Structure 1
C-alpha cells in the first residue's frame, strides 16, 4: 500500500512556507538573507522543506542544499556536513582552510542559492560558548562569502547561536515561531481547519471517518497532539498503516490503537480516543502547557 502522506497546507505551515520561498527568491535576486524558524518537536518544521525545489536527477545542481546539523560540533564538523550534502568527500581535504575553500567552490558549482540547516539546536548540544561562537562564525562566513540565503530550523534553544555571536544576529531576520495551536478561540479554529484537511485527504483514499465539523473528535485529537500538526499527521499515518484487511474505518477504536502504538506517553496517561474519557477544557490546556517547556527552555542571553 502507498504510504498515506498528504501535504496539508494549514495556517502555521503556509505562513512559514511563504517566508522560506521568499528567502529563496531573495537569494535568486542577489539579496540573500538568514532566517531562523523555531518550534518544539513534532510541530512539522521539517515538512516545510518538501515544497522546495529538489535536485534534478543525474545532475550535480543543488539550488537548495539541506544539511542535518552535526551533533558533535567542532569547527570542522560543519563544513564537512555541508560537503557531504553536496556529494563531496570531506576526507579529501586535509585541513580547515582546504575544507572551507572546497565548500565555497562546491556551492558555486552546484548553483546553490539556499542552504538549510535542519535540527540546528544540535550545534549547541555538548558545545561550550567558544564552540557555539565558532559555529556562528561559520554561518556568518558562509552567508558572506557564498552569497546564499541560510535557513535554520530547530528548537528555540538554537537561538543561543545568535546570542553567542552578535555579528550573526546582525545579519539575520527575526525568527519565525512555529508553535503548537492553542486550545481555544481562533487558534483552535485553525487547528480544526488543519484537521479537516487531513480528514478530507483520508476520505479521498476511500476511508470512512469523522465529519470535519465533529467538535468532540477535534477536542480528542487536540488532547492527543497538544496542538502539534506533526502528531496529527503521524496518527493518521498509523491508522492507515495498521488497517486490518480491507476495512477502511478510521473511527475511535482505530485512532485509539494508533495512539497506543505510535505515541510514547510519560507515566500512566489515558488514551484520548477512549470514549470513556470525558475531555474537559482543563485537559486541553494541560496538554498545551506540557509541550511549551521546549519553547521557553533557557537558551542564554539576558
Structure 2
C-alpha cells in the first residue's frame, strides 16, 4: 500500500522536484542528530547551523522548495533503543516543529516498539493517525495464498524476461522460498535480484537460488540452505522461521 502511494507520487512529480525523501533515523539520539540526518538525506551540509532549531528550519525550507510530498523516517525504533525518556521526548518535539510549516506528509516506520514514541508525548499522539502494522506473510491460511501470489508475480517477471525458471504453481519451490524469506516480500526481491547477478546461463532454478541464498542472506532463522534439494523441507520449518522473525520484531505469535 505504501509502495503504491510512493510510486504514484513519483509518477506525477514535476521535473526538478524531490517528491519523496527517505531519512534513516540516527542510532544515537541527540538534539542535533535528527535534523542533521534530515539535511544529510538531501545532500546539505550540517555544519552551518548554530543549533537544532536552525537546522530543522533549514530542512523544512529545503523540502518545501523541492516540492516534497512525502518524507519517510525509517528504522525509527533506533530513537528508543538507546535514548532516555528525555531524548525520546526531544524526538517527539522535533516532529512537532514540522506542524504547520512542512508541506509534506510524514511516515514514521519501524518495529512495533516505535509506539513508545507516541506514548511518551501525548501531543504528538494526538497529531498522528493510528499506527498501521505490516506483518510478514503467515505460513498458512489466506495469508499464505497471498504469499504464493506475490511469489508468482516475481517468477512471472523472470519468465517475461526470457529466464528459465519455476512454474508459477510450483508448491515445493514456494515452501522453500517461504523458509528462505520467512514471509517477507523484501527478501523475495533481494533473492531474485541476487539470482539475476549470479546466474550465467539464463536459468533461475534451484542451483541459482541456492547460490543467491548463500550470498545474500544471513541464515539466522534456519540452519540449512532452503534451496538445497538434498534437504527435505517440512511444514514445521515454515512455522519455525515465521515464529522466529516475529519474535525478533517483538511481536507475540
TM (norm. structure 1) is 0.75
Aligned counterpart, 1:210? 166
What does the per-residue CA deviation read over 1:142-161, in whole Å, with 9 as the maximum and x for residues that have no partner? 13432431111222222221
- Mapped to 2, the partners of 1:280 and 1:128 lie a distance apart of 44
Aligned counterpart, 1:111? 67
CA contact (8 A) 2:40 2:46 kept: yes
Aligned counterpart, 1:163? 119
Aligned counterpart, 1:53? 10
What does the per-residue CA deviation read over 1:29-63, in whole Å, with 9 as the maximum and x for residues that have no partner? xxxxxxxxxxxxxxxxxxxx566428766x4x333
Specify whether residues 84 and 293 from structure 1 end up closer, same or farther in structure 2 by C-alpha distance, changes over 3 A only. same
User: Partner of 1:179: helix, strand, or coil?
Assistant: coil
Q: Structure 1 residues 170-179 or 95-104, which shifts more?
A: 95-104
CA contact (8 A) 1:156 1:294 kept: no
- Mapped to 2, the partners of 1:89 and 1:219 lie a distance apart of 48
Aligned counterpart, 2:177? 221
Q: Is 1:17 aligned to 2:3, yes or no?
A: yes
Q: CA RMSD in A?
A: 2.3
Aligned counterpart, 2:248? 294
TM (norm. structure 2) is 0.89
How far does residue 77 in structure 1 lie from its aligned partner after superposition? 1.6
Specify whether residues 83 and 262 from structure 1 end up closer, same or farther in structure 2 by C-alpha distance, changes over 3 A only. closer
Q: Is 1:273 aligned to 2:227, yes or no?
A: yes
Specify whether residues 209 and 100 from structure 1 end up closer, same or farther in structure 2 by C-alpha distance, changes over 3 A only. closer
Specify whether residues 113 and 258 from structure 1 end up closer, same or farther in structure 2 by C-alpha distance, changes over 3 A only. closer
How far does residue 84 in structure 1 lie from its aligned partner after superposition? 2.8
- Mapped to 2, the partners of 1:294 and 1:103 lie a distance apart of 34
Does 1 or 2 have the higher relative contact order (CA < 8 Å, sep 6+)? 1
How far does residue 208 in structure 1 lie from its aligned partner after superposition? 0.8
Unaligned runs of 5+ in 1: 1-14, 22-48
Question: May I ask how many residue pairs the two structures share in their alignment?
Answer: 251
What does the per-residue CA deviation read over 1:89-142, in whole Å, with 9 as the maximum and x for residues that have no partner? 221112233223323333333333322212222222321111011101111221
What does the per-residue CA deviation read over 1:232-268, in whole Å, with 9 as the maximum and x for residues that have no partner? 1111122221113xx1222222212222222112387
Specify whether residues 113 and 240 from structure 1 end up closer, same or farther in structure 2 by C-alpha distance, changes over 3 A only. closer
Unaligned runs of 5+ in 2: none
- Mapped to 1, the partners of 2:171 and 2:234 lie a distance apart of 13
CA contact (8 A) 1:140 1:168 kept: yes
